[in-house]
Amino acid sequence: MTPAGILVAAEYADSPIAQYQGNPLIEALPPIRSEADAAACMALFPDEPGGETGLSKEVRLHCIDRLLHLVQPLPIHLELESALSALIRSGYVGRNPLSQSTWRHVYSLALGQAKESGFRSTASTLSVVGLSGIGKSTALESILRLYPQAIRHRQYRRQELVQVQIPWLKIECPFDGSLTGLCHAFFRALDRAIGEERYARRYRSIRGIVQLVHQIEQIASTHFVGVLIIDELQHLRVAKTGGKENMLNFFVNLINSIGIPVVFVGTNSMIELFSDVMRNARRATGLGLSDFRQPKRDDPAWALLVDAAWQYQWVRHVEPLTDELRKVLYDLTQGVTDFLIKLLVLAQRHAIHTGEERLTLKLLRTIADTRMQLLKPALDALRSGDTKRMSKFEDLLPPDSQIAAMMGAIDGDARVSSRLAMLQDMRRPPAGNAEASLSPIAVTSGIPSTGVKQSGVPVPSEARRLVECDAPFVALRDAGWLQADALEFSTAYADC
């Protein structure tokens, strides 16, 4: 994917499909990919550990987060890529910038007379649903990497065409489900795509929803937005009275009146949003439904993902991936991709901190029961297999901030234990090594040791007894905790 804000110069390639031919918006897109090519482009396999397992624990702890970036393409990724490829191109069929009818429609939008332009939309919709953390957003982002986000046209077949095309925009539905919030999110996303703060600032102060929607219709049509992806659409559940219907009607208008395809992305509860308004429900089916279902334990796609993730271990000893390990990994994560990755990251951190240096069944269960306890209610709901309990999965998940804190929290007991052991070893010089008994300052400066008795950390009760005796200075000196002279730092001072 071209970085946001980078305008790519249009390069045109003839299409083998008749209805796509002669349309610069389609011919400027990457070619329709084979499944093998699409999978190779979507995959993201970070460098495997290799010799890094021999590095220090401090360095390896930094390496573990590389696992968070793993993208293993699965069959549903290929299905979604094919659907999105067709969705974008079919939406452009009715919006050829070389056609007079297209610009007549754009001008009619500016005048608020879209219904009189005679425009016929070729746009459709796609719905993507699934459990939180199952991989919907990651899959979409992997597919969007196949397309530039902004294309600059200047000339097409010796015909002037000065245009900035936006093949895709992805925004999140606001937490309050408000259409106003969605409109402002649209302007911010468009600014990121073109690489300048133009629209968000211009319309920041506008609160009238009618005016905001009108501006979006005009701008989206002028920039020939290829597809609008709305993530986290389940937030519409908390919209104020009438807010849900208003936003869904807004989407329908984008599809019918503007000709922009829309992808709805959300949890399973999103489906309920469309059952209330049948007109929107029919539109939501569009090119179909991509359902990221919870995999079964013996699902080959799940096995493929586990195989890939298991390769990214920075512990000293990598255990073979046995059937028992596979069974436990599934039981502790219930096939949720995000939970699997979090479990492996947290378990490795613990194993490296404690010196255990291997992922065992016991360790994985311990991490799931302690470090991932916030997720247990949701996992128990999935594990039950009860439809009613499973429907509450999303509501049982902790807020994102708590999950982030869970991943960023210090593994207190393990880290303190390993650090104490290290500090204790520093205070135990090898037998017969006189130089090792000197303080670091004395060794590096060449100042000989003062011969002070080396002692462990004073036990509070012993120190209290010495201080409370009749001659505390003498008692502390004889115990080796004080010099004969409180200022006796060296023999050089003693000669003064």
Tokens 């890529």 locate to: 81
pLDDT tens digit at each of 496 positions of the chain: 566 668 899 999 999 999 999 999 999 999 999 999 999 999 999 999 999 999 999 999 999 999 999 999 999 999 999 999 999 999 999 999 999 999 988 888 888 776 666 788 888 899 999 999 999 999 999 999 999 999 999 999 999 999 999 999 999 999 888 899 999 999 999 999 999 999 999 998 887 899 999 999 999 999 999 999 999 988 887 777 677 788 888 888 888 888 999 999 998 878 777 654 434 434 544 557 889 999 999 999 999 999 999 999 999 999 999 999 999 999 999 999 999 999 999 999 999 999 999 999 999 999 999 999 999 998 998 999 888 888 787 766 766 666 677 677 656 566 666 666 666 666 555 555 544 444 443 433 343 444 444 444 444 556 556 656 666 656 656 666 555 544 343 343 344 4
Q: Is residue 51 part of a domain?
A: no
Q: Is residue 65 part of a domain?
A: no
Residues 374 and 411 in one domain: yes
Residue 434: the pLDDT is: 45
If one counts the domains in the chain, the total is 3
Q: Is residue 436 part of a domain?
A: no
123, 94 in Cβ contact below 8 A?
Answer: yes
CA proximity to 121, closest of 276, 281, 283:
283
Residue 418: the pLDDT is: 63
Residue 271: the pLDDT is: 74
396, 377 in Cβ contact below 8 A?
Answer: yes
Residue 49: the pLDDT is: 96
Question: Which of 266, 292, 318 marks a domain boundary?
Answer: 292
Residues 274 and 343 in one domain: no
Q: Is 44 left (phi over 0), alpha (psi -120 to 50) or beta?
A: beta
Separation CA 83–CA 249 (nearest Å): 23
Name residue 160's beta-bridge partners: 155
Residue span of the structural domain in which 37 resides: 8-42+74-292
Separation CA 188–CA 199 (nearest Å): 7
Residues 279 and 359 in one domain: no
Residues 120 and 263 in one domain: yes
Residues 475 and 397 in one domain: no
Residues 162 and 37 in one domain: yes
Tokens 């039981």 locate to: 331
Residue 175: the pLDDT is: 86
Residue 128: the pLDDT is: 92
Token code pair at residue 164? 């900035």
Q: Where are the beta strands (DSSP E) in 16-158?
A: 125-130, 151-156
Residue 472: the pLDDT is: 62
Q: Is residue 443 part of a domain?
A: no
Residues 279 and 174 in one domain: yes
Residues 464 and 383 in one domain: no
Q: Where are the beta strands (DSSP E) in 133-235?
A: 151-156, 159-165, 169-172, 228-231
Separation CA 388–CA 394 (nearest Å): 12
Q: Which residues contact 353 (CB under 8 A, 6 or more apart)?
A: 57, 61, 411, 414, 415, 417, 418
Residues 262 and 143 in one domain: yes
Residues 250 and 323 in one domain: no
Handedness of CA 284, 287, 289, 290 (dihedral sign): negative
Q: Is residue 54 part of a domain?
A: no
Residues 365 and 481 in one domain: no
Q: Is residue 442 part of a domain?
A: no
Residue 249: the pLDDT is: 85
41, 78 in Cβ contact below 8 A?
Answer: no
Question: Which of 292, 318, 348 marks a domain boundary?
Answer: 292
Residue 224: the pLDDT is: 96
Residues 13 and 102 in one domain: yes
Separation CA 402–CA 342 (nearest Å): 13
Q: Is residue 173 part of a domain?
A: yes
For residue 238, give the CATH number of its domain: 3.40.50.300
Residue 490: the pLDDT is: 37
Q: Is residue 369 part of a domain?
A: yes
